[in-house]
Structure 1
Amino acid sequence: MTDATDRGAAPEPAARSGGASDLYRAVWRWHFYAGLLILPFLITLSISGAIYLFRDEVDTWVHADFLQVSPAEEQRLAPSEIIAAALAAQPGTAVKYTDPLADDLSTEITVKPETGGSMAVYVDQYSGKVLEVRPDRSTFSWTVRYLHSFRFFGATPRMVIEIVAGWAILLVLTGIYLWWPRGQRGGVVSVRGTPARRVFWRDLHAVTGLFAGGFILFLAITGLPWSSVWGAKVNEWANGSNFGYPSGLRIAVPMSEEHLDHVAPTSWSLEQARIPETAPPEAGMPSIGVDAAVGVFEELGLHRGYAVALPVTPTGVFSGSVYPDDLSRQRVVHLDQYSGEPLLDMTYAEYGPLGRALEWGINTHMGQTYGVANQVVMLLACLGIVLLAVSAAVMWWKRRPSGSLGVPPLPSDRRVFIGLFVLLGIGGALFPLTGLSLLAMIALDLIWQWSTNRRREAPVA
């Protein structure tokens, strides 16, 4: 893909005269605007995404003082003892028990204090020693994740995700048109010249875009589920009235108003899934307790690293959930807190076709589906996007006229914009926030043209 070519700074060749030249200029102009708008965001998303791909490795290194422990399996404490140790260090109500992914990692207990936000308490499950008390989801990887999704800045800035994703798709499609060979001998799959010449940066941008474009499309589309408008609507459409329970799987038990994502990390398609309620207990009937509940989850074969949301009301349930790299091992199990019987046991195989496709895309986007190979390929894609942005900036700087923004020239026949705007309108309808930003850019472009023409027509004093 390219914002500018050597042909953009010199007269157009005869082969690109007339209508073809006008269309090229129109596409080039909007490719330039797309890059101008989102390249800074793409750099931020690429760097934070590249770091998050290796979140487990980075967290274990950065937080080794409280995440790593020395295994002593014969001395492992019961979950209730681990929770008691956590509550002694951080008073409040225990709301979640997270099983360590490996024997040499600590156990995390989430505690809700009487005031303030939830706290994460890390306990050595062999000695009962509390290793760390800190705000929930405040580790390095959670911080990077919130920066990557813009959730760190609140709900409104998260809308930027949808805008960037829509413009990234536009950037790739217009870039493919600009890259398409039109008789040139170089700059298609090879890079000409040296870094001192603009043609080098043009070719580097075009060739990098050729190979990275598919990954940009994939990352943009699979990143959209996290957007606050498009993602929420697709979630609702994909999963029906109960946001995630496949047809025929729900059991005839009362459903609470609590959502799964409020009590434990979950897959995207189940973020709004409601949690069942335990039937009101008979007088004096005790809860089975967390030790028995964890025992049931382990008998059912939940993958290591599962989280158990603890009941905090008489009608609450023990909710076990796990989302490992292996999609087939995703699972959510809700237990009656008095009988220990499963009220719901759902696996990835029981999601609908759209739900499975979306989860595969999200899992692969996060570098989980295919192990280290997935991480490396996504890392190379992130580096490719950064290289695209850098080469675009250098190329623009080298072709930019002194004292001007260097916006690509308007086509001589403005009618070519009609078809382009129709295509942009279709994209805007599919991605509403991107569509609104498109309208804003069109208005700014018209203002730019009007002010430029006024300056040209102004009499010289």
Structure 2
Amino acid sequence: MKPLSSWATGPQARTALERMFWRLHFWAGLVMAPLVVLAALTGLSYVITPQMEAWRHASVDRVPPADTVRRLDDQVAAARAVEANRPLRFVVPAHRPGQTTQVHFGADPAAPPATDGLPSGRIVYVNPHTAEVVGALDELQRYRNWARKLHASLLQGEGWRWIIELAASWLLLLLITGLAMWWPRRRPPAVAQPASLSPAPRLRWRRWHTRVGLGMSVVLGVIVLTGLTWSAHTGQRFRAAQHALGQAAPRPPADLGSALPADGRGMLSWQAAYEAARAQAPDIAMMITPPHGPQGVWRIENFDRSQPTRRFVLALDAYRGEVLFAAGWDEMPLLARATAVGIPFHRGEFGLWNQLVLVLVALACIAAVVSGLRMAWLRRPPGRWMAAPPRVAEGWRAVPWGVWALLGGLAWAQPVFAWSLSIYAACEVGLALLRRRRFPMTA
């Protein structure tokens, strides 16, 4: 890879470029430090989901195993009797002995409409061996859903998802600028230090900051990128790009429907739809969505996302059970496969090793923030609370076209980053103009 410093011409331009990266890295780290720590802490709360769910929800998730299993229709009927007013969304049949069947319902139409944007559905848990309801939880009472909403929107509804997206966007820029300053190795920009301060403490903190950043850079990059793929604004751009490039996961056509039978037969029962899907699908927990309307289709896909190679989606004729659409891992394009692997990794769903990696990365993020703030504190002049790296007039002119293209690509892909970067650029221009007015001879 061509070193960034070689893209500029002359030693002054190279120094200006390095200082511009340093200044951008400094302000991004300083301003985004609280959000980065918040994202790391809420991410930690989500990483421990398997342990928390096993502790909190064992009473509704587990039942004594038995040899007999009641028909799925009986199980769904038992759940409907408990939540008669709510619309049924989908059913997750028990996959292994000792598990319960989950029947997911939507919001109660008789209740006042929710204004906070948080989930208002309800899950009813049924013993598959006796068709008896063992419990029910509001959707947000489930720890997994609560932790996911905490990490995505701080439990403030969909309109607040931009906060964590903002942190992720700038964290990606911190990674890029940090790696640009470190590689290839060079002496730091020559900047006058306070005479009363020995550089040794700050150098020690810088070494720690660099080692922590480098150690987590690859994994953190994967985590940030996969998280952004399902964020509110960047995720929308990502999905649009997927479809434009033909890299989206195959989905049933929107106009797919069932043919009305001439003999007047009724729709398949839940049990019949389940058995038809089980004959076609991999051995994995599935979710079954019933037909919507007379010409709707049974839609079945994997509920368990921790086994990417067993992902599937099926659409069955509502009356005959014929397969109208089927796709799995083999039909997924490369980018869809990468997403199918990256998102479960981001969520820590590949087992204990995955959880430990994410815990270490979250702690490393916090350590990088602490060490960065400590370095900034140590380099401040006496009597001041902070001192940013110096601004140089040649900095922007020294930026090569490749870096501008990278920033432009990031801004297009990440709308939240785009407007926040424009605010940063406006502040820099304003400060430069203010300095020119105050010191016209030195500007």
Q: 1:388 aligns with which of 349, 353, 368?
A: 368
5 Å matches for 1:290-369? 290-322=270-302, 323-368=304-349
Q: Following the alignment from structure 1 to structure 2, what is the Cα–Cα distance between the partners of residues 170 and 436?
A: 14
Cα pair distance change 1:422/1:318, threshold 3 Å = closer
Q: Following the alignment from structure 2 to structure 1, what is the Cα–Cα distance between the partners of residues 286 and 50?
A: 15
Q: 2:110 aligns with which of 97, 108, 115?
A: 115
Indicate yes or no: 2:220 matched with 1:216. yes
Q: Following the alignment from structure 1 to structure 2, what is the Cα–Cα distance between the partners of residues 48 and 348?
A: 31
Indicate yes or no: 2:172 matched with 1:174. no
Which 5+ residue runs of structure 1 have no aligned equivalent?
A: 1-15, 185-195, 247-269
Q: Following the alignment from structure 2 to structure 1, what is the Cα–Cα distance between the partners of residues 143 and 253?
A: 28
5 Å matches for 1:30-429? 30-74=24-68, 76-92=69-85, 93-112=87-106, 113-116=108-111, 117-150=120-153, 152-180=155-183, 181-182=185-186, 197-239=201-243, 244=248, 246=250, 274=254, 276-282=256-262, 284-322=264-302, 323-368=304-349, 370-401=350-381, 402-411=383-392, 413-414=394-395, 416=397, 418-419=399-400, 424-429=407-412
Indicate the percent of aligned positions where both proteins have the same amino acid: 26
Deviation at 1:45, TM superposition (A): 2.2
Q: Following the alignment from structure 1 to structure 2, what is the Cα–Cα distance between the partners of residues 240 and 343?
A: 25
Q: Following the alignment from structure 1 to structure 2, what is the Cα–Cα distance between the partners of residues 37 and 137?
A: 31
Cα pair distance change 1:47/1:303, threshold 3 Å = farther
Q: State the TM-score, normalized to the length of structure 2.
A: 0.81
The secondary structure found in structure 2 opposite 1:73 is coil
Cα pair distance change 1:209/1:154, threshold 3 Å = same
Q: Deviations over 1:401-429 (max 9, x none)?
A: 43443222223645556546665345324
Residue type of the partner of 1:223?
Answer: G
Please name the residue that 1:253 is paired with.
none
Q: Contact (CA 8 Å) 1:96, 1:111: kept in 2 or not?
A: yes
Deviation at 1:29, TM superposition (A): 0.6
Deviation at 1:372, TM superposition (A): 3.3
Q: Following the alignment from structure 1 to structure 2, what is the Cα–Cα distance between the partners of residues 452 and 53?
A: 47
Q: Contact (CA 8 Å) 1:26, 1:417: kept in 2 or not?
A: no
CA RMSD of aligned residues (A): 3.1
Residue type of the partner of 1:53?
Answer: V
Q: 1:441 aligns with which of 417, 424, 429?
A: 424
Residue type of the partner of 1:325?
Answer: S
Deviation at 1:38, TM superposition (A): 2.7
Q: Deviations over 1:26-85 (max 9, x none)?
A: 2111001221233322222222323323423321212222222221232x3221111122
Which 5+ residue runs of structure 2 have no aligned equivalent?
A: 1-9, 112-119, 189-199
Deviation at 1:309, TM superposition (A): 0.7
The secondary structure found in structure 2 opposite 1:203 is helix
Q: State the TM-score, normalized to the length of structure 1.
A: 0.78
Q: Contact (CA 8 Å) 1:242, 1:274: kept in 2 or not?
A: no
Q: Contact (CA 8 Å) 2:310, 2:328: kept in 1 or not?
A: yes
Q: Contact (CA 8 Å) 2:121, 2:139: kept in 1 or not?
A: yes
Cα pair distance change 1:455/1:101, threshold 3 Å = farther
The secondary structure found in structure 2 opposite 1:346 is strand
Q: Deviations over 1:253-272 (max 9, x none)?
A: xxxxxxxxxxxxxxxxx5x9
Cα pair distance change 1:245/1:445, threshold 3 Å = closer
Q: Following the alignment from structure 2 to structure 1, what is the Cα–Cα distance between the partners of residues 384 and 437?
A: 17
Q: Deviations over 1:197-227 (max 9, x none)?
A: 4433222111101111222222222222112
Residue type of the partner of 1:228?
Answer: A
Cα pair distance change 1:422/1:237, threshold 3 Å = closer
Task: Give the aligned length.
Answer: 405
